[in-house]
């Protein structure tokens, strides 16, 4: 039985970790960490856990937690883990970090885009970028996994095979992505109030969103060079889901059948990536509540471009589900253990 601690258990991603791990037969949460709700019963904060979780919330003492658990999930703001992580902690426990603290290898890029000083850059090189379908062999032996962001997971997986095979020019890539409001977290913010979000859609972080360098770095590894993309996120009035519509110039003339073969080459054996039949396009409603990524595409012969579309649940494959998938890999368990949730509908 894997003993688990969660710091940030009362945020949206933390609560999703609790929900998923509650159904994982080889996992036991022994520490529900929350700075805001110490000594309060977890089920009083999330009533869906009434009579399912009897524990009270504890604090966020990572050094003490490391003595009691096998793995710690940190569902915390940027800068938190980097500010407290030590070698002594990493010698005792594995860590899966849902923030961006160790996702970007160039510390100066991290500090520029996130606007904060990185407090423990000595761990950046060791951290494994936990995009399971691409880096699972590295994840297997990792002590520290940087769980990818939600926009980045969807954006990278949607374009990765075509970048890797040189079928598209990655420097022409435009990513137009939409997210539900849970992606902004549970904290009270005026722009996320019902009356501010309902019956509206808005772009934000235009030409400046901090997930941009993460996407560029990972696609750069795929093509073996520097990549510069245009990424624009949008907020839409729904609870969950991300839809990324991506446009790129083709490097040569290809047929839809050839593109499908490439996607199947990379994802045909993947449990959680579903490449849709040609002519079908992903919708967030068909992945909601699940760890699946749905991908579709259409060649635009008139412009010599391809349109790639990906859909995920931002709280599952975009956060907690992928974190559990990483945990399974790290502990030698079947990758889908605890994650075989059928998408919710309606």
Question: Which residues form the catalytic set?
Answer: 150
Q: Provide the 3-class DSSP secondary structure of residue 103.
A: coil
Helix (H) or strand (E) holding 306: strand 305-312
Nearest to 239 by CA among 193, 182, 189: 182
Nearest to 282 by CA among 134, 152, 149, 158: 158
Q: Are 282 and 143 in contact (CB under 8 A)?
A: no
Q: Are 338 and 324 in contact (CB under 8 A)?
A: yes
What is this structure's pTM?
A: 0.97
Domains of the chain and CATH, by start: 2-126 (3.40.50.720), 151-314 (3.30.360.10)
Q: Are 248 and 170 in contact (CB under 8 A)?
A: yes
pLDDT tens digits for the chain (346 residues)?
999 999 999 999 999 999 999 999 999 999 999 999 999 999 999 999 999 999 999 999 999 999 999 999 999 999 999 999 999 999 999 999 999 999 999 999 999 999 999 999 999 999 999 999 999 999 999 999 999 999 999 999 999 999 999 999 999 999 999 999 998 888 878 888 899 999 999 999 999 999 999 999 999 999 999 999 999 999 999 999 999 999 999 999 999 999 999 999 999 999 999 999 999 999 999 999 999 999 999 999 999 999 999 999 999 999 999 999 999 999 999 999 999 999 999 9
Nearest to 250 by CA among 304, 309, 307, 301: 304
Q: What are phi and psi of 29, to 5 degrees?
A: -80, 120
What does the alpha-carbon distance between residue 129 and residue 126 come to, in Å, rounded to a whole number? 10
Nearest to 178 by CA among 149, 210, 154, 147: 154
Helix (H) or strand (E) holding 4: strand 2-7
Q: Which residues pair with 289 in a beta bridge?
A: none
Q: Are 74 and 4 in contact (CB under 8 A)?
A: no
**Confidence at residue 328, expressed as pLDDT on a 0 to 100 scale:** 98
Q: Are 179 and 151 in contact (CB under 8 A)?
A: yes
Assign residue 168 a region: left if phi > 0, alpha if psi is -120 to 50, beta otherwise? beta
What is the DSSP code (8-state) at residue 41? B
Q: What sign for the dihedral angle of Cα 11, 99, 201, 289?
A: negative
**Confidence at residue 189, expressed as pLDDT on a 0 to 100 scale:** 84
Helices (H), 202-281: 212-223, 256-267
Q: What is the maximum alpha-carbon separation in the chain? A: 62
What does the alpha-carbon distance between residue 57 and residue 61 come to, in Å, rounded to a whole number? 12
Assign residue 116 a region: left if phi > 0, alpha if psi is -120 to 50, beta otherwise? beta
Q: Provide the 3-class DSSP secondary structure of residue 146.
A: strand
Residue-wise DSSP of 167-208: -B-GGG-EEEEEE-GGGG-SS--GGGSHHHHTT--EE-STTT
Q: Are 342 and 23 in contact (CB under 8 A)?
A: no
Helix (H) or strand (E) holding 14: helix 12-22
């Amino acid at each position: 039985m894997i003993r688990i601690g969660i710091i940030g258990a009362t945020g949206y991603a933390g609560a999703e970790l609790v929900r998923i791990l509650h159904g994982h037969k080889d996992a036991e949460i022994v520490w529900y960490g929350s700075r805001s709700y110490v000594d309060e019963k977890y089920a009083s904060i999330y009533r869906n856990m009434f009579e399912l979780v009897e524990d009270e919330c504890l604090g966020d003492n990572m050094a003490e937690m490391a003595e009691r658990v096998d793995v710690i999930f940190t569902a915390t703001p940027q800068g938190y883990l980097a500010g407290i992580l030590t070698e002594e902690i990493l010698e005792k426990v594995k860590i899966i970090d849902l923030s961006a603290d160790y996702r970007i290898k160039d510390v100066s890029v991290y500090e520029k885009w996130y606007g904060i000083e990185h407090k423990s850059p000595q761990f950046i090189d060791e951290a494994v970028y936990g995009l399971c379908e691409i880096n699972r062999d590295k994840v297997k032996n990792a002590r520290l996994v940087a769980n990818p962001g939600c926009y980045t997971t969807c954006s990278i997986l949607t374009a990765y095979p075509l970048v890797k095979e040189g079928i598209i020019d990655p420097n022409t890539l435009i990513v137009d992505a939409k997210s539900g409001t849970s992606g902004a977290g549970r904290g009270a913010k005026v722009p996320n109030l019902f009356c501010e979000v309902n019956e509206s859609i808005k772009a934000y972080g235009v030409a400046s969103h901090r997930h941009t360098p993460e996407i560029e770095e990972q696609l750069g590894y795929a093509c073996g060079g520097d990549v510069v993309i245009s990424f624009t996120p949008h907020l839409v009035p729904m609870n969950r889901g991300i839809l990324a519509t991506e446009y790129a110039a083709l490097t040569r003339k290809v047929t839809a059948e050839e593109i499908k073969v490439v996607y199947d080459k990379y994802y045909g054996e993947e449990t959680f990536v579903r490449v849709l039949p040609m002519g079908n396009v992903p919708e967030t409603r068909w992945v909601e509540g699940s760890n699946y990524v749905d991908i579709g595409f259409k060649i635009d012969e008139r412009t010599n471009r391809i349109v790639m579309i990906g859909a995920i649940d931002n709280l599952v494959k975009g956060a907690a589900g992928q974190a559990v998938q990483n945990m399974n890999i790290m502990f030698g368990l079947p990758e889908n253990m605890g994650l075989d949730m059928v998408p919710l509908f309606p």
